[in-house]
Amino acid sequence: MNDAVRVGVVCALALWFALIEIEIEGRHGWALRLPTWFRTRGPAGRLYGAISGGKPLTGYHLFMASLPLVILQLPFGYGEDWTIAAEVMVLATYMAFAIGWDYLWFILNPAYGLARFRRGQVWWYSGPWIGRLPFEYYAAIALSFGVAAIAA
């Protein structure tokens, strides 16, 4: 599969995940009204909070966010050679995918859209924003490029 097709598939996957998550969560983001567990304490809750800007770890997000990582492993199951570099590229791809998925959730969700995607309107992005995007987006994209450079 060439790179353009691979990027297209990952973008389509991000769109699909965003639409599914909009159907599941509706206007209540971060699994706020779902029958799932929330952790802010304990080793897992503290670690997740530290790397996610203070967001609580939820059962929903643990499984929903790890599903694309499993999907991105599929080429190895279909005969693609597994190498450390290939696995690192999967991680870089996942980081970029996750930001695309998240952004699409906001702009396609009728309860948000571009108008409501701004500082002060999204409690789980309470940290700094640069322009119209949370700092976490910029950090994840930069980290994705850095990890991809390591893989190359």
Mean pLDDT of the chain: 93
| Contact assessment for residue 30 and residue 58, using Cβ atoms and an 8 Å cutoff | yes
- Decide which of 53 and 76 is more confident: 76
pLDDT in tens, 93-136: 999 999 999 999 999 999 999 999 999 999 889 889 999 999 99
Helix (H, G, I), strand (E, B) or coil at 39: strand
Is it the case that residue 1 has pLDDT exceeding 80? no
Residue with tokens 């800007």: 53
- DSSP assignment letter at 131: T
Q: Count of alpha carbons within 13 Å of 63, Cβ hemisphere only?
A: 7
CA distances from 60 to 34, 69, 152 (A): 8, 15, 33
Is it the case that residue 9 has pLDDT exceeding 70? yes
Q: What is the pLDDT of residue 111?
A: 92
Is it the case that residue 24 has pLDDT exceeding 80? yes
pLDDT in tens, 130-143: 999 999 999 999 99
Q: What is the pLDDT of residue 93?
A: 95
